[in-house]
A = this chain, B = another copy of it.
Amino acid sequence: MSTTQTSKIEIIKSSTTKINSVDFENLNFGAVFTDHLFECDFKNGKWQKPVIKPYAPFLIDPSTRVFHYGQAIFEGMKAYKDDNDDIWLFRPDENYYRFNKSAVRMAMPEVPSAIFMEGLNELLRLDEAWIKKGKGNTMYIRPFMIATGTGVVANPSDEYKFMILLSPAKAYYSGEVKVLIAEHFSRAANGGIGSAKAAGNYAAQFYPTNLANKEGFQQVIWTDDATHTKLEEAGTMNVFFRINDTLLTAPVSERILDGVTRKTLIDLAKSKGIDVEVRPVLVQELVEASKNGTLKEIFGAGTAAVVNPIVGFSFREVYYELPKIENSYALQLKEHLTNIQHKLADDTFGWTVKV
């Protein structure tokens, strides 16, 4: 290992690389990590010296707060390599902003841009050989922060660890996705943490999702917990509905994540002349639109899957199949967005940022 210093980040290079053992054509999402990671600890009320170092396990005390009281947040981002070997990020400021919004809600310290952004850029440059060219190849980026203070008392931690991991990725979802509309379980409370990208929100979804899986549904469409009448998210993604030629999606709220892909698709759809309505969408409306043939599409939107078309939904034991259509908004939007991300289409929005 050799140690160098770039700006304020200490860089400890791995003496070996795992890259030759990786089959880049057959990657399981989130399973393989690059040679290095970025790390910065928060102690004594301030962020300590940031470091890039070989990806490796670290020592942790059994009483560490994240295990007991769950202060843990993350982001999902992607980097892309174009045909000129330039590396691009997609709207990284949006993820940075949301990360710190999550931090505030979870009583964790905000991460300065100099740490988050410079750490990310430096790490991507160091492990750039892991970012493969060609559409469909991406580098999934996982910034996260955990409470590392010790002691089993239910108070906010006074120590934290911020890390960035890199995981080369192909597509996230595969196969046909049928969804079950939640009538009992919920993912978020009014005045809760549903709009934060907090670890605990995900664990809470696993059991209801497992129940749906057993009934043959890959995901759950979450509804508002008070009335179960409003359609809010699909699995871990925001959700869009196309009724006739209008695209509908719920407004962001305390219960709904302010998804970067969501807001991107809204702008992209509008730029194509598609009518977009951001308003509460009711379960009953969806059922009626399906019955009278005006429901054309449902799709999830998120960083990992980009756009995830849904083929049908179940509500109160009745399964509603979606029509197979030409000119799918989901596929058009996905194609356009991934082309922008991979620098294969003009980025008239200024969304892509060079590393």
A140 within 8 A of B: yes
Copies per complex of this chain: 2
Min CB distance A174 to B, Å, is 13
Interface contact B70-A203, CB-CB below 8 Å:
yes
Q: A156-B210, A165-B152, A192-B204 are in contact. Are A199 and B67 (CB under 8 A)?
A: yes
Min CB distance A209 to B, Å, is 8
Interface contact A236-B190, CB-CB below 8 Å:
no
Give chain A's interface residues, CB within 8 Å of chain B. Answer: 28-31, 33, 37, 55, 57-63, 66-72, 74, 104-107, 140, 142, 144, 146-147, 150-156, 163, 165, 167, 182, 184-193, 198-208, 210, 225-228, 236
Contact with A55, one of B28, B59, B62, B225 (Cβ below 8 angstroms): B62
Min CB distance A71 to B, Å, is 4
Interface contact B153-A31, CB-CB below 8 Å:
yes
The distance in angstroms between the C-alpha atoms of A186 and B188, with both chains bound, is: 10
Min CB distance A212 to B, Å, is 12
Return the chain B residue nearest A156 by Cβ.
B206
Contact with A210, one of B107, B147, B163 (Cβ below 8 angstroms): B107
Closest CB pairs A-B (n = 10):
A200-B200, A70-B199, A189-B189, A107-B206, A226-B226, A30-B152, A186-B191, A69-B202, A70-B200, A189-B225
The distance in angstroms between the C-alpha atoms of A226 and B156, with both chains bound, is: 26
Interface contact B207-A106, CB-CB below 8 Å:
yes
16 contacts between A and B (CB under 8 A): A28-B153, A57-B59, A59-B59, A63-B142, A66-B199, A69-B202, A70-B203, A154-B205, A187-B192, A188-B189, A190-B226, A192-B192, A192-B204, A193-B203, A200-B204, A226-B227
Min CB distance A2 to B, Å, is 21
Return the chain B residue nearest A59 by Cβ.
B57
What chain B residues lie within 8 Å of A156 (beta carbons)? 206, 210
In addition to A59-B59, A186-B191, 17 A-B residue pairs with Cβ atoms within 8 Å of each other are A37-B62, A57-B60, A62-B165, A66-B199, A67-B72, A67-B144, A68-B74, A68-B142, A70-B70, A70-B201, A70-B202, A74-B152, A105-B207, A106-B204, A189-B190, A189-B225, A225-B226
What chain B residues lie within 8 Å of A192 (beta carbons)? 185-189, 192, 204, 225
What chain B residues lie within 8 Å of A150 (beta carbons)? 31
What chain B residues lie within 8 Å of A31 (beta carbons)? 150-151, 153
Min CB distance A95 to B, Å, is 14
Min CB distance A54 to B, Å, is 11
- Among A59, A60, A204, the most chain B Cβ lie within 10 Å of the Cβ of A204
Q: A31-B151, A105-B207 are in contact. Are A199 and B142 (CB under 8 A)?
A: no
What chain B residues lie within 8 Å of A152 (beta carbons)? 30, 74, 140, 142, 165, 167
Interface contact A193-B204, CB-CB below 8 Å:
yes
